Structure 1
Amino acid sequence: MTEPTTRNHPRDRIRAAFAAAGVTGWLHAVDIDSAAQIEVGADQPVVTASVHKLCLLVALHQHAEAGRLALTDQVESPAEGRTPGPTGLSAMLDPARVSLRDAAYLMMAVSDNTAAELLLARVGLDAVNETTERLGLTRTHAVQTFGEFITTIREDAGHGGPQALADPQVLARLRALDPARTNRSTPRDMTRLLGAIWRDEACTPEHSAAVRRLLGLQVWPHRLASGFPFDEVHVAGKTGSAPTLRNEVGVIEYPDHGRYAVAVFTRAASPAAALPAADAVIGTTARIAIDALRSPDPRSVGGLRGRPGA
């Protein structure tokens, strides 16, 4: 059998897909059980945006596991002073009272920023960082709340408001787009976290199962899930977005028990808020990577073996 040509190597197909969609992209995908992996810039520092809600969710369940809180504890969300956002409590008009676990559902299923702030108020930013450090995510760090992240975008946009975000000069000064000044990680760190969740290493089996359940309830079909339009394939993930940034991390499970963690982070050349191709390429590149990992020919993934980060 002839060696695959360079243009047919999955890494080159992934890079070509990113380019065709008008984005710069970084990806890491790993077979959770065999540790075979494929990467495109897997150690590049990236802005996590709402992907960091996954780190908060794990910290919440570690606190529950240690008896520091009960997931059924109730929290109040007044109508005033909510963190801006288009979904969940952030978009609601009246006072609400929810349990911590229901706030976690809103945070993960529809990326509710107010629900995330309620949980951060109970868990604390330091505890989120302690959780990622404990799990060996050495390049993952939270420096601000989700509300603070949004505030920096508003401040840096200036008097021009949201319309100013179409200006390249404004985008260039956004702290929210600089991994050195906001919540950050790498694609490899994120797949390491997902692998720990799916192997019941991040929490006890009970709490890990609860985290997996919430990841499986995310409603957005336009990014990672778009690459796997099959009833028998299960997709669980968490998106993250900011001006020009579209991200998603998740796990794809096949009926033959194959399970694959994948993290895709992108930055678009265009500042347009609606870029369907930039959303869809997350699913496209994840599918290329996972098809390669499922290939019986080890040359399709360049012979990359070993634990993530090894």
Structure 2
Amino acid sequence: MKPLARIRTAFTEAGATGWLHAVDIDTGAEIGAGADQRVVTASVHKLCLLLTLHQHAERGALDLTEALDCPPTGRTPGPTGLAAMLDTVRISLRDAAYLMTAVSDNAAAELLLERVGLDAVNTTTRRLGLTATHAPHTFAQTLATIREDAGPAGAQALSDPHVIARLRALDPARTNHSTPRDMTRLLTAIWRDEACTPEHGAAIRRLLGLQVWPHRMASGFPFDDVHVAGKTGTLPTLRNEVGVIEYPDGGRYAIAVFTRAANPAAALPAIDTVIGTTARIAVDALRIR
């Protein structure tokens, strides 16, 4: 079976609709399955914010060691990092960026977004030519739309397919969006030091390499000498990851995988795993070429 057929079959067997793009960073060889489909980015958009933060630092518009206070009241909700803490936290911009990237901390992301502005994030993607990538909402606003659309039943309503169907946060026409191809272009620019200076590019790559989640893209590359750096994104029925796979022979591959499940369950390990499975199929195909 050819690689594209294997990728599509893997998505189907996992119970997901999936879109993927992978590219060899150095040769430009590529493989895609719905590479230009507009998709919801969810927390994958934090990568665009991370780059914007470092571009601001590069221009001297901010100092990454600058400290911010994050009081316990009014924080953007989430299960990790500052979002889950109970007391006032004082943290530097660069350490907030670590939490945003490594554990997808929503509160840390919102702190950084307040510092640089949503318009600046959209300017960053536009200047890079990512014409299909745009964020109309902050992360806090996205979560607010889910609460509003779910109604008085709250999180319990998110198991109802009728509620899922009306969530603005799951509609790429009404929320933060991109395409798999745009995301691999962004990763390629970061890995080639075309998006910012080598110093700041290295800092971004370091943070992406510190992501703690091994159950998605990294699950497809269980080798000590293969390095996986990435950023996940998750919303009801949506599981995404974009990242770069680096082999010991110097091969570098940017990959973006976006999925949507028919099942609204919060835990669907088969779909988490298929992100790694399809990424591995794509990388193997590129390496054979």
Q: TM-score normalised to the size of structure 1? A: 0.93
Tell me, yes or no, if structure 1 residue 138 matches structure 2 residue 134: no
Partner of 1:191: 184
Partner of 1:306: none
Correspondence for 1:40 among 23, 27, 33: 33
Partner of 1:224: 217
Shift of 1:159: 1.1
User: Which ranges of 4 or more aligned residues in structure 1 deviate by more than 4 Å?
Assistant: none
Partner of 1:21: 14
Partner of 2:261: 268
How far apart are the structure 2 equivalents of 1:161 and 1:182?
20
Residues 84-103 of structure 1: pairs in structure 2 closer than 5 A: 84-103=77-96
Correspondence for 2:156 among 160, 163, 183: 163
Deviations 1:218-255 (A, max 9, x none): 00000000000000000000000000000000000000
Q: Unpaired segments of 5 or more residues in structure 1? A: 1-7, 299-310
3-state DSSP class of the match of 1:294?
helix
How far apart are the structure 1 equivalents of 2:264 and 2:72?
32
Correspondence for 2:283 among 284, 290, 300: 290
Which AA in structure 1 matches 2:274?
A: V
3-state DSSP class of the match of 2:152?
helix
Tell me, yes or no, if structure 1 residue 249 matches structure 2 residue 242: yes
Which AA in structure 2 matches 1:118?
A: L
3-state DSSP class of the match of 1:97?
strand
Correspondence for 1:180 among 158, 173, 176: 173
How far apart are the structure 2 equivalents of 1:289 and 1:153?
33
3-state DSSP class of the match of 1:239?
strand
User: How many residues align structurally?
Assistant: 289
How far apart are the structure 2 equivalents of 1:270 and 1:56?
30
Shift of 1:161: 1.1
3-state DSSP class of the match of 1:82?
coil
**What is the percent sequence identity of the aligned residues?**
78
3-state DSSP class of the match of 2:109?
helix
Q: TM-score normalised to the size of structure 2? A: 1.00
How far apart are the structure 2 equivalents of 1:250 and 1:163?
32
Deviations 1:131-180 (A, max 9, x none): 00111101000111101111111110001111111111101100000001
Partner of 2:107: 114
How far apart are the structure 1 equivalents of 2:132 and 2:12?
26
How far apart are the structure 2 equivalents of 1:176 and 1:155?
11
Deviations 1:40-70 (A, max 9, x none): 0000000000000000000000000000000
Partner of 2:200: 207
Larger Rg over CA atoms: 1
Shift of 1:79: 1.0
